[in-house]
Structure formats: C-alpha cells, structure tokens
Amino acid sequence: MTAGSEARGYASSVLHGIAADISDRERVTLGDLIQRLGQSGFGLALIALALPAMIPIPGPFGMITGSCLVLIACQMLIGCRRLALPQFLADRHVTAAGVKVVITRALPWVNRLEAIVREGRWRSLTGRWSHILVGFPVLVLAVVLALPIPFGNIGPVASLLVIGLSLVARDGLALMLGLVLTLATFIWTGVLVFAGANIVAYFGGLLG
C-alpha cells in the first residue's frame, strides 16, 4: 500500500486489512471476501463491488461484481439481515492481485468520502427498513452500471459509494444524499441514452 491509500475510517480500514491479508495469496474466493467484510456486510459490499467499475481490471471482473450487486440488491429488498452469496458465486475465484489493485486505487476515494460521513447522524433513517428502502435503487444502479454507456459509470459508482458508506456509518443524512445522487444518476443516464440514440439515428440516416 502507498501512503496515499492508508485507511482513515472504518470502511477503508476493513478494505486495507483485506488487501494486507490476501497479499501473499494468488487467488481468493468471493465467499471469503464477503466473509471478511464483517458485520457491515451490505454497506461494505456495495463499496467493494462498485469500485471495480472505475478501475480497468483484466478478465470478467465487472460481470462478476455486477452479478453480485444484483444479488445483494435482491437480498436487501426482501429484508435479509445478513449478506450471503449462492454457493456457485461464493466458490468463484478472482485473482488476489486484481482485488488488491482495486482496493489500493480506490482507498483515496473512500477516504475522501469518509471525511464527510458522520457516525450515527440521523441514525433513525438507517434502521433495518433502510436496506429495503434502498434495495430497489441499488438494483437499478447495478443494471445501469452493467450497461455499455460511455461516461455512464461515474454516477452509479458515486451513488453506490455514498449509499454504502452511509449504511456502514449509520449516517441518515448521507443516505438521503445517496438517494438524491441516485435520482440524478437516473436522469443523467436517460440523457445519455437519449443523446446516444439520436446520434445513432443521425449517422444511420446519413449512411442510409
């Protein structure tokens, strides 16, 4: 780890610890990674699985993490208390080097966001029902993240990071901010899709 990627808050400390623990391994299972996230599994999982979308990693990393995000959102929607992966995904291996690269490059961003999150602020908004409340937005964000839209990944990643950190810190104000960012992301994605469709239609008309 570089000095600029040192851990400052709880989420970054857990991620920093995971990177250190797997440093001498070649591969690691997704189930092992989820288990290492500890008690704040849902929030930390949103953070950990959104980050690879911002960092190019060789292999089917994005497809795997996107599938996991959808499953996490579904578990949130039905009110599961603990995060779990089906066995076929839990047994799936990813390279430890790839995981460490993601964490190392992402920690500065997580640190910046942790600086604006406050433990227990508006705590009443982050009870068990909050997981159900944000389950559907997280599901749609996961789908948007998987779409091949140029410049379309920034909004979903930012939204998922803020929502994830708010769940970890039980910060209700940050959760509301995350939902506002989610709404803005949906609008921005609609604009990108509309603009892309018009561009395709325009050049299709020229070629036709």
125, pLDDT greater than 60 = yes
| Residue 27, CB-side half-sphere exposure with 13 Å CA sphere | 5
User: Which pair of tokens denotes residue 203?
Assistant: 């050049």
pLDDT at residue 1 above 60? no
Instruction: State percent of the chain over pLDDT 90.
Output: 7
Q: Residue 59 — pLDDT band, cuts 50, 70, 90?
A: low
Strand pairing class (93-95; 27-29)? antiparallel
Of these ranges, 18-27, 53-62, 175-184, the one predicted with the greatest mean pLDDT is 175-184
Domain spans in the chain, listed from the N-terminal domain onward = 3-207
Could you give the C-alpha distances from 146 to 66, 68, 103, 190, in angstroms and in order? 6, 12, 20, 15
| pLDDT at residue 28 greater than cutoff 80 | yes
Report the predicted TM-score, pTM, of the whole model to 2 decimal places.
0.79
pLDDT reported for residue 182: 92
Report whether pLDDT(22) > 80: yes
End-to-end CA distance of the chain: 54
φ/ψ region of 7 (left if φ > 0, alpha if ψ in -120 to 50, else beta) reads beta
Residue 55 is predicted with a pLDDT of 64
pLDDT at 30: 82
pLDDT of residue 176: 92
39 — pLDDT class (breaks 50, 70, 90) = low
How much is the pLDDT for 179? 92
pLDDT at 4: 43
Q: Which pLDDT value is given to residue 188?
A: 86
Paired tokens of 207: 């070629």
Coil, strand or helix: which one is 16? helix
> How would residue 79 be classed by pLDDT, with cut points 50, 70 and 90?
confident
